[in-house]
Amino acid sequence: LGINNEQVERLVDIQQAPESQIEVTVLYGTHTGNSHLIAEKASEILKSKGVSVNLVGMPDYNVRKLKDEKNLLVVVSTHGEGEPPVSAEDFHAFIYGKKAPKLEGLNFGVVALGDSSYINFCKTGNDIYNQLLKLGAKNIHDIIELDVDFKDQVESVLPGIINQFSGNNTSGEAINNQANTVVKVDTDQWVEAEVLEKVLLNGRGSNKATYHIELDIENKGITYEPGDALEVISKNNPVLVDGILTKLGLDPETKIQIQGQEKSLREALIANYEITVVTPPVIKKYAELAQNSKLNSLIDDQEKLKEYLYGSDFLDLLNDFSTEVSVNDLQNILRKLPARLYSISSSYEYNPDEVHITVGAVKYHLNDREHQGVCSGFLAEEIQIGDELLIRIKKNEGFRLPEDHNVKVIMVGPGTGIAPFRSFLQQREAVGAKGENWLFFGDQYFETDFLYQTELLKYRKNGLLKDVSVAFSRDQEEKIYVQHRLRENGALIYQWIKDGAYFYLCGDMNRMAKDVKKELVNIIAEHGKISVREAADYFKEVKSSRRFQEDVY
């Protein structure tokens, strides 16, 4: 079970306290809701074992209570290149901060979610795990790391850690029964929805291909709120699949078992396995097979590995480091293809029969071949009007319009970051919200990349939009970005924020979101006539009161 003596003693401690009921706080930090899902499931199982559970999201958790906790199960995801999800930022900062308490009386476990295509896989979970140890808390179980295909794994790992908390008998049989009967986290049904419309939003000559896609959900029993995302099941490009099969000399019609179904190898490679991305675990498993000294030295060098993996697909790997691969090997090496998430760009109140998404197609040339992003490529190249897509709604409670319709709203969404704001605007129109709306949009060129231009200008004309401030970065020599437009309007932005406006940010996480937040702090400092440090504190307050919300990727 991976526990040491000390942990066993702890466990016995718990068991020897029959009088008082065991209490466990299940604390989750989530971005897309997966951690929430797992935390809920863990709570359910704990309760069924007579444990008293306090299930709480990190933003709602009073960190001053941490020092009094006895049993803590943390479920947390990692965002992008190893950062905490927004909802976990404060908790993460608190345990690393000066005010972090000693936690000698605490038993804890961590379930970490992540995406193994990133080098810093599950970093936030590991940060929290290591820091809780440093603060003197006792790990009741080793950290559990779950990849994007966690739904397969969670059923076998969750009972193990839960039994440590509940102090229950941990016989393998009990765990297995649990695994088969109780631990199903993936219960939401997928729905087939017909593609009603598919429009390329960029003009001829653009560097970009952004598609507006409308899906029919009439009578499908689906509802959603502005801010929610759509999960889409995608398929791999058959050309890439055939390239792989040819390279490996495998028979496409070989029958294999996958998720309890029999399929041909070709079908499975199209629908079930990830081949457009090579993750570090995948290349490591492949290296064991290939026994190639060049490949071995590559995987030992993190920086070089990262550089190599950037943009490479599985066929690149096969071409660069040839070796014999059996059907069985393939099944062992490849990761399951996860569903993809897109911010919904329509409002249910405005049109309950449809759901819209705005998809930026990822396409590039590498090693003399065309490469595509898996789902955007699928939606851009394969899917046509009249086709059916498998979809379901993914709630996003961290990105919500103010309940009070009179509150002003500032939205910053360059590129496909515009998507949720189209939904916000439709919603504000549908419910007749009186609060003013101000949109900042940016992209490369006015001529070809002003997404939803007609709609947005119409909204400005009819007053739904107070203004749409645009930044076309490449229409002039020097770059103009949305944050420059924010700065130009600094005095008014500051006024709005002072007056209680909500500020929303959506789009690129790595550069844009960081720069915009920095600019916002500068605006607060300049127009509030306070130091940058004080402005940063003020910004934190705005954020904790949920008047700053972001959905970045």
Question: Which residues would be at the binding site for ligand 2AM (CB under 6 A)?
Answer: 414-415, 442-444, 473-474, 479, 481-483, 511-512, 515
Nearer to ligand 2AM (CB atom), residue 176 or residue 207: 207
Q: How far apart are the first and last CA of the chain?
A: 36
Amino acid letter, 529:
K
CA–CA distance, 125 with 114 (Å, rounded to integer): 9
CA–CA distance, 52 with 73 (Å, rounded to integer): 13
Nearer to ligand 2AM (CB atom), residue 439 or residue 512: 512
Nearer to ligand 2AM (CB atom), residue 112 or residue 482: 482
Q: Are strands 23-29 and 71-77 parallel, antiparallel or unpaired?
A: parallel
The closest alpha carbon to 491, from 537, 534, 522, 454, belongs to 522
Reduced to 3 states, what is the DSSP secondary structure of residue 355?
strand
Spatial contact of 132 and 106, defined as CB atoms under 8 Å apart: yes
Amino acid letter, 210:
T
Distance of closest approach, residue 329 Cβ to ligand 2AM, in angstroms: 40
CA–CA distance, 91 with 97 (Å, rounded to integer): 10
Distance of closest approach, residue 208 Cβ to ligand 2AM, in angstroms: 8
Distance of closest approach, residue 549 Cβ to ligand 2AM, in angstroms: 18
Distance of closest approach, residue 119 Cβ to ligand 2AM, in angstroms: 22
Distance of closest approach, residue 44 Cβ to ligand 2AM, in angstroms: 42
DSSP 415: G
Nearer to ligand 2AM (CB atom), residue 84 or residue 414: 414
Nearer to ligand 2AM (CB atom), residue 320 or residue 515: 515
Nearer to ligand 2AM (CB atom), residue 436 or residue 443: 443
Nearer to ligand 2AM (CB atom), residue 64 or residue 479: 479
Amino acid letter, 84:
P
Nearer to ligand 2AM (CB atom), residue 448 or residue 473: 473
Distance of closest approach, residue 542 Cβ to ligand 2AM, in angstroms: 20
Distance of closest approach, residue 516 Cβ to ligand 2AM, in angstroms: 7
Distance of closest approach, residue 470 Cβ to ligand 2AM, in angstroms: 10
φ and ψ of 409, to 5 deg:
-135, 130
**469 CB-side CA count, 13 A:** 21
Question: How crowded is residue 94: how many other Cβ atoms within 10 Å of its Cβ?
Answer: 18
3-state percent helix, strand, coil for the chain, nearest multiple of 5: 40, 20, 35
Counting DSSP H helices and E strands in the chain, the numbers are 21, 21
